A and B are shown apart, each in its own frame.
Chain A
């Protein structure tokens, strides 16, 4: 991770030197003409004709390039291509070419390169936490004017779940629209609950209960509690625990993204609680468990309660050989959970007709029915209030009531950690949390160090 950041930075530095030779930021003409057909997701659907003159054969059609990362497996790429060809069929004057861009990190790298090469995509999906970077580097544009000009623009924005919409703002302006969003919930093994005499319909609701249940559930073959503490995941779970332990729901960072509050007494307690789960109560595996291994351990019955993303619902419901339940994350002083995932952005510096076309595309992709279907197909949480009035979601919840918890929990959920230079701040927090987990520092020392390093990094944005 660190190496990657260093590389990207180095690439950026080098580029800025070379950039002196100037590269006219002309509009994008390199996009191949995608003719992806068949929403059914036919295999080679993405056959694209090689580029040629702009709009050679298709009249005056406007070509938009759309970068998207895939984080939930192969079929998501086909779904996106299907959605884009639906859009193209409905809007003959616009051709959206979907371009798969790896994971979130690769997408940012490709985006930066394309911007410097003068061929940015018109629309892209990137982490919601990237918004400060997108705004400060001028890669994305504020969307407020588009919303104001749209007849039902304000209504549209108000329809998004506030917990998701909250991390679209930079300095009071909206920079992104929620798309593939998730939150953290607790999955628990009902059969293990029964086995140790706990009521399977009463999952833990507080930290004290978590410890109490965890102690009952732990035996030589099984841990009571599971948390992924690897770099890149620890900060997500930590946001949740800090929210739960805060007096009034204070998050880890200031809303303007220019300050972090890592070393508050509440947060130190939260980190101490993690260590206690491992060392004092011995109900959680010591050391660092990987994010991608945790669901596997849960399914194998090696952990009874895990903190994981709702995105795992399909995997767990298909593979669990036991009855499982989901619940809100247990509360400390209050309830709380982190949100995460990717949003739509529009590139900066586009011509007016391209901006309008891009906006149209975003509106299309986030229509309630479509957003609902996307949620069902991928495991993300539907982003709009009106999605939950659709039969799609209603039937889904009837079939799989465990999925509903995520939606209900959004009310108490807050954005995960993000600031300017978010990647660096994430690294700082993750590194220091890990040093506490492996015993190199006390929680207080670790968070004080994290606070100090992060403040230094953020100094240039004050």
Chain B
């Protein structure tokens, strides 16, 4: 009994230490972003507090436009993925039709192909559709998601048929069955996919850089790159941190607010990334 307690305490201490370790970059980033630039690298700022770094980077790059663009990109992409993936997952997981296994296998294979490999073919398609340098062009290749279909299908499959049958007996249509039975049951899967989709598109850099040309269509990460990738001479850490702070703050806040849901959805969905 005593031993068990000791182990428990040790695990807690270890977890706290690990948590602190994870906190270090964030502390450093915020400290550096809000203090007068210094060439000494220290975890806690040694120079005076200032908002100049934030002001400088905010004015050097049209972050306002980039914010709106990123929000549009992230929200629209997820909404469309939500609809398309639900329908596909229902068809593949619940309906029985000839060749469903093959269709699923083909979709599943897409998970293996890294997105970066598809940059050139996608660009060429968009170029022929005259959609280069448009927001819709930036989103279009992500409107279907193999990962979401896979996740939802597995979840839908685990939902007892009897539930759907009961709904049907009560006179529910297919739409109503999906809406009232399948979707609520698969909430953890939706949540974890939302996290994956939103963070991926929030952080995606190379594809938005390549497919867009004008600042009117560009996203936050492209704004960050102007500072973070300018290292011919030396890293201007204060600016890099200020720009990074501007970019991560919404997701950071979202995480603090919805931490519990994030955790539980990941645990129940059993995936990390």
Contacts and interface: CB of A to CB of B under 8 A. Distances in A.
B177 interface: no
A46 interface: yes
Given A74-B57, A77-B226, A292-B231, A110 B239 contact: no
A97 interface: yes
Contacts of B214: 32, 34, 46, 48, 50, 97, 99
A47 B62 contact: yes
A314 B39 CA distance: 14
Interface string B131-144: 01110000000000
Interface string A31-75: 110100000000110111111000000000000010000111111
Interface in B111-168: 114, 116-121, 123-124, 126-128, 130, 132-134
Contact of B225 (A97, A103, A379): A103
A19 B121 CA distance: 8
A11 B233 contact: no
B5 interface: no
A74 B239 contact: yes
Chain B, interface size: which category?
A: 35 or more
B209 A101 contact: yes
Contact of A106 (B58, B215, B229): B229
B213 interface: yes
A300 B230 contact: no
Given A30-B213, A34-B214, A74-B60, A11 B119 contact: yes
Given A23-B124, A30-B127, A47-B216, A315 B132 contact: no
B127 A182 contact: no
Contacts of A47: 62, 65, 215-216
B234 A315 contact: yes
Contact of A109 (B61, B133, B210, B233): B210
Interface string B194-231: 00000000000010011001111100001001110111
Interface string B69-95: 000000000000000000000000000
B120 A14 contact: yes
A287 interface: no
B215 A46 contact: yes
Contacts, number: 167
Given A71-B231, A299-B39, A110 B116 contact: no
Contacts of B60: 43, 74-75, 77-78
Contacts of A311: 232-233
A117 B123 contact: yes
Interface of B is mostly: helix
A314 B40 CA distance: 17
Interface string A263-294: 00000000000000000000000000001101
Could you say which of B58, B116, B209, B213 has the most chain A C-beta atoms within 10 Å of its C-beta?
A: B213
Contacts of B216: 32, 46-50
Contacts of A43: 58-62
A7 B56 contact: no
Could you say which of B130, B216, B233 has the most chain A C-beta atoms within 10 Å of its C-beta?
A: B233
28 contacts: A7-B116, A14-B120, A15-B124, A30-B127, A44-B64, A47-B215, A47-B216, A48-B213, A48-B216, A50-B214, A50-B216, A70-B229, A71-B230, A72-B230, A74-B56, A74-B230, A102-B209, A102-B229, A106-B206, A117-B120, A117-B124, A117-B127, A118-B124, A296-B40, A296-B234, A312-B233, A315-B234, A319-B39
Interface of A: 7, 10-12, 14-15, 18-19, 23, 29-32, 34, 43-44, 46-51, 65, 70-78, 97, 99-103, 106, 109-110, 112-114, 116-119, 182, 291-292, 294-296, 299-300, 308-309, 311-312, 314-315, 319, 379
Given A44-B65, A73-B226, A109-B206, 20 more contacts: A23-B124, A43-B62, A44-B64, A50-B216, A51-B133, A71-B230, A74-B57, A76-B230, A97-B214, A103-B225, A110-B209, A112-B120, A114-B210, A116-B120, A292-B231, A292-B235, A296-B39, A300-B40, A315-B233, A315-B234
In the A-B complex, the 10 residue pairs with the smallest Cβ-Cβ separation, listed nearest first, are A48-B214, A71-B232, A117-B127, A15-B120, A46-B215, A74-B60, A32-B214, A103-B229, A44-B62, A311-B233
Interface of B: 39-41, 56-62, 64-65, 114, 116-121, 123-124, 126-128, 130, 132-134, 206, 209-210, 213-217, 222, 225-227, 229-236, 239
